[in-house]
Structures are given as structure tokens and as C-alpha cells.
Amino acid sequence: MFPSSSSSPILYSLTLFVSLLLLFLFAPQILLPRNRHHGQPLISAKDELDDLRLFREAISKAKATPRGGSSKVSHLGTVNPKPKIAFLFLTNSDLVFAPLWQRFFESSGGGDLFNVYVHVDPSTKLSTPEWLVKASFVPAKTTARASPTLISAARRLMANAIIDDPFNLYFALVSQHCIPLHSFKFVYASLLGNPSSATKAFLTQRSHKSYVEILSEAPYLHNRYVARGDGSLLPEIPYDKFRVGSQFFVMAKRHALLVLRERKLWRKFKQPCLDLDSCYPEEHYFPTLLSMEDPKGSSFYTLTRVNWTDSVDGHPHTYLSPEISPELIHTLRKSNSRIELNLDVRLENMGGFGL
């Protein structure tokens, strides 16, 4: 028995509605590629909206903060607060080098020169870090290596740090594998000057440099540029503007706010890759953005030291117990740049290893 002609439009409409409903429900699973490391979609619409609200709050908070800052009261109730460095730990495993960071932060002479923020993948059961440091664990989202989720996590850390304390003027992104190579006082003086006179840094924020590695040449650069498909980054990012650099950096507040405001490049870099072996957006987004928007405002080198000799599966060299010595630390402190603040390297977990 066939439906009458009068009922056909209703039947066709119902069929179309059901088809659209099924497409809506299953298209993400069909169309979105899964990350090869965690088997999860890259960025969800909910996470994106949550981040946008967070970024707007941070930008609004920054606008309400006087540039001078030195005569105001900080969020801790301190009169004439000093500028601070925000240390942003991006991790998906235990902070095994927390005791080393404890010694590093102790050398500051007090807690009024820095803040610590930690972004932990929600699927990670993190052990309590072995340090006596007041650390803020920010609301976190799922992260995966070689995916735009790492860009989102870095932006999330900076936004939370800006909201938490308006006197955070530098943002140092590090991983659970980083260790400090110098004392806190050395690092602080290199970025902001002597603490006793560092309040002038509030007045010179517009000229603060960011220490982000920016490279225009690499043997794999073209493959990474077309990892999402030919022309996928156009017109916003022509090939001659595409850059690469270390995932970890020390960024000035003015550039952190630039990152939180930026939308055009992010829409390109968050696209899923077709060539997964050439997909490392976290190593391209920040260098490309700063190179395009404020090339004179960046050092073009990072303040981390990485040894790529004998790397395995894209990870740096792991220093094992027989290799670790004071001589190694002195060697690692040597650099082509003016200063190096920390070491982004896989180091075997050793109790009692000191600076």
C-alpha cells in the first residue's frame, strides 16, 4: 500500500527531519578525526565557548587595571606590590621535579614576586606535588600531544593568571619535565630588574619583549604547513609567514593579551589535520602569531634548553643518572642567547639532585 499524494509531503518532511537529526548526532564522530594519541575529538564547541568567556573576563580585568599599578593594593592586600612572574605548569603527569622547583622558589626570598598555576589533564590522577608552594590549579580541559588542545591549555593558563593577579607581568610556560637552571633571583632580575626597583616595570609594559622561539626555516616546515590540506591556512597565513618554534616560552603580558584577543589565526590552527605525522599546531601558533603581529617585540629565541640528540618519538633526549652532574648543569647554562631560565628536557627522576 502506497501513501496518498496528500500525505506524501508530510512523510517526506518527517523523513528529512529524521535524516537531519541523525546527521547532527553522528556527524562529529564521522567527520572529526580522532587524535592519534588519545582517540578523542580535538576541540568541542562547549570547550570553545567556555574559553571565550574566560578570555573576555581576562581582557576586561586587564583593562580595569591601571598601567602604573605601583600605588595600588594587590589581590593579596599588599601595598605597592611588585611585578610578578607567573609560572604556568602544563602537565598530564605528576610534577616529579617539584622538590627542585621548591628550592627555586625558596630562593626568591618570599612569595610576593611570583605565582604558580597548574593545568592538569582531567583524566590524570595527579599526586600531590612535593613542594610547599601555593599553586592554583586552573579549571582544565582534555589535552593531547600534537593537537590544538595544547594551545587552548596555554591560553587558559594565561587567562586565569591575568584574572587572578593583575601584577603578573610575565608568563613562563613550562612542562612537568622542566627544571630551573638558575636561581629565582637571577631569572627575576633578567626579566624585570632588581626587585627593589622593579616597580618601574609597570610603566614600561608596552616595551616588554617576549621570549618566544620564531624560526622561518626548517626541513619539515612545508609538510606541516599543508598538514590540514593545501591552502587550508590561506588567506590568513601565507607560507612565507608560517613559523615554528618551541612549545614553551616566556611571554610578556601585552602579548598574552594579544593571544587572548586573537581569533583569525586560531580558527585556522584548530582545524583537524589530514597528515597526522606533520601535525604539531602547538609549535606553530604562537611563533606565527607574534611574528605577524609584533616581530620587533619578540626575542625570536626561547629561554629553554632542549637536547634533541637521540630523540625518540618526537621527545628530547632523556638524561639518565650517570649523565647528571654539576658539569652537565654548567654546560646546559651555556647558550647562544643572553639567558636561559629552565631546561625542557626528559631527566630521570632522581632524589637529591640539586641546583
User: What's the pTM?
Assistant: 0.83
C-alpha cell at 282: 602547538
- pLDDT tens digits along 3-41: 454 455 554 554 545 444 444 444 443 344 444 444 444
Tens place of pLDDT for every residue, the chain, 355 residues? 444 544 555 545 545 454 444 444 444 433 444 444 444 446 889 999 999 999 999 999 999 876 555 434 444 455 668 999 999 999 999 999 999 999 999 989 877 899 999 999 999 999 989 898 899 999 999 999 889 999 999 999 999 999 999 999 999 999 998 999 889 999 999 999 988 887 889 999 999 999 999 999 999 999 999 999 999 999 999 999 999 999 999 999 999 999 999 999 999 999 999 998 999 999 999 999 999 999 999 999 988 888 877 777 777 788 888 988 988 888 888 765 555 565 555 555 433 333 3
On whether the CB atoms of residues 286 and 210 are closer than 8 A, the answer is no
Peptide bond just before 28 cis, omega within 30 deg: no
Kindly write down the DSSP assignment for every residue of 140-162, as one continuous string: -----TTSTHHHHHHHHHHHHHH
Q: Are 346 and 316 in contact (CB under 8 A)?
A: yes
Phi, psi of 89 (to 5 degrees): -95, 115
Give dist(CA 7, CA 143) in Å, integer.
Answer: 51
Q: Nearest 5°: CA angle at 192, between 137 and 339?
A: 90
